[in-house]
């Protein structure tokens, strides 16, 4: 994150976030939240009072913002007062709302097969297949390098993904065959000077950079429109199918706790089981 031409308060906040190893996305979000608070106050946030915070949260409630967005904004403001300014009296005035639990949309196998069939290129088909078959997030799929594919053990190694965690993902024979086919036609114009293992599996338009998640999302929606898929689905929808398929094959309940998609710390078994079509779960014991 650039620190040129910023106020001393913002500079100090950036340093606090960097010292705590907050990611670039989190830092941008926190800075944007504090800028919004400062715009509401029409003065520096370090002069805020408890009543200012009360009025700001009331303003957010009246702005028709979603609960996740309101919580995100207040998380950034809370970091400013708790860490950078050490104003614990103001931190006590900040509250977060409980987010409503919603069932994510899940595409049927027929819809997914039709979607993959109309993918405009082999590259897009593989990227969508990685989300559908392996449960990869968009950022994980586009961020793959040659070294992350272990064809001998048929696994994909995901390094430092969400929460700065590593994990291994099973690689199906079908996806592995597609990756081998992709290796033959993969663009190599930007590979000069880059070791084989460090090359992006899906290079983007910019030299030395992979395909962006925005581009992948756009390609997904184009394929979904071409396939006539119902509205309300996103690229992340394909990732949910891995959990559904795993639960269906293993009588559901135990898979809730084994899958990487539904974390028991964040999702209740009841919510996860509601994703499974009737008749696919039964008592195995």
Instruction: Look at residues 285, 280, 284, 282 and name the one whose alpha carbon lies nearest to residue 108.
Output: 280
Instruction: Look at residues 218, 223, 222 and name the one whose alpha carbon lies nearest to residue 205.
Output: 218
Query: pLDDT band at 248, cuts 50/70/90?
Result: low
Identify the architecture of domain 8-91 in CATH. Answer: Orthogonal Bundle (1.10)
User: Would the pLDDT of 210 be above 90?
Assistant: yes
Task: Answer yes or no: same fold for 8-91 and 109-273.
Answer: no
User: Would the pLDDT of 226 be above 50?
Assistant: yes
Query: pLDDT band at 217, cuts 50/70/90?
Result: very high
Determine phi and psi for 159, rounding to 5 degrees.
-110, 130
User: Would the pLDDT of 99 be above 60?
Assistant: yes
Kindly list the distances between the CA atom of residue 204 and the CA atoms of 28, 64, 188, 214, 259, in Å, as whole numbers in the listed order: 24, 37, 11, 11, 31
Q: Which CATH number fits domain 109-273: 3.40.190.170, 3.60.15.10, 1.10.443.10, 2.30.30.240?
A: 1.10.443.10
Q: What number is the average pLDDT over the span 35-49?
A: 96
Query: pLDDT band at 273, cuts 50/70/90?
Result: very low
CA distance 161 to 139: 8
Residue 236 pLDDT: 83
CB atoms within 10 A of CB 123: 20
CA distance 99 to 272: 17
Q: What number is the average pLDDT over the span 97-117?
A: 83
Q: What number is the average pLDDT over the span 196-220?
A: 91
CA distance 237 to 144: 20
Residue 280 pLDDT: 46
**0.85 exceeded by the pTM?**
no
SS3 195: coil
Determine phi and psi for 101, rounding to 5 degrees.
-85, 125
The residue that leads in pLDDT, 95 or 269, is 95
Instruction: Say which residue the tokens 């008592």 belong to.
Output: 283
Domain segments of the chain: what residues?
A: 8-91, 109-273
55-76 pLDDT, tens digit per residue, is: 999 999 999 899 999 999 999 9
CA distance 89 to 43: 19
| Mean confidence (pLDDT) of the chain | 83
Query: pLDDT band at 5, cuts 50/70/90?
Result: low
Answer yes or no: are the C-beta atoms of 186 and 179 closer than 8 Å. no
Instruction: Look at residues 182, 184, 176, 162 and name the one whose alpha carbon lies nearest to residue 133.
Output: 176
């Amino acid at each position: 994150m650039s620190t040129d031409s910023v106020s001393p308060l913002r500079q100090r906040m950036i340093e606090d976030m960097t010292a705590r190893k907050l990611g670039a996305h989190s830092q941008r979000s926190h800075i944007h939240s504090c800028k919004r608070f400062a715009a509401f106050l029409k003065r520096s946030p370090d002069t805020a009072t408890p009543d200012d915070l009360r009025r700001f949260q009331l303003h957010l409630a009246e702005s028709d913002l979603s609960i996740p967005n309101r919580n995100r904004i207040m998380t950034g403001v809370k970091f400013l007062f708790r860490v950078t300014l050490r104003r614990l009296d103001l931190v006590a005035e900040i509250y977060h709302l409980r987010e409503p639990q919603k069932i994510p949309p899940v595409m049927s196998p027929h819809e997914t097969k039709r979607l993959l069939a109309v993918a405009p290129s082999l590259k897009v088909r593989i990227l969508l297949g990685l989300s559908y078959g392996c449960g990869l997030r968009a950022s994980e799929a586009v961020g793959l390098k040659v070294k992350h594919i272990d064809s001998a053990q048929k696994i994909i190694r995901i390094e430092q993904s969400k929460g700065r965690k590593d994990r291994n993902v099973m690689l199906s024979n079908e996806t592995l065959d597609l990756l081998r086919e992709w290796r033959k036609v993969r663009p190599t114009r930007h590979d000069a000077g880059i070791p084989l293992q460090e090359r992006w599996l899906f290079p983007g338009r910019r030299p030395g950079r992979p395909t962006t998640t925005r581009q992948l999302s756009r390609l997904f929606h184009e394929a979904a429109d071409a396939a006539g898929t119902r509205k309300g689905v996103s690229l992340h929808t394909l990732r949910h199918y891995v959990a559904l398929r795993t639960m269906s094959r293993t009588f559901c309940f135990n898979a809730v706790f084994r899958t990487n998609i539904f974390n028991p710390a964040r999702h209740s078994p009841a919510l996860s089981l509601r994703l499974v079509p009737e008749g696919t779960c039964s008592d195995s014991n």
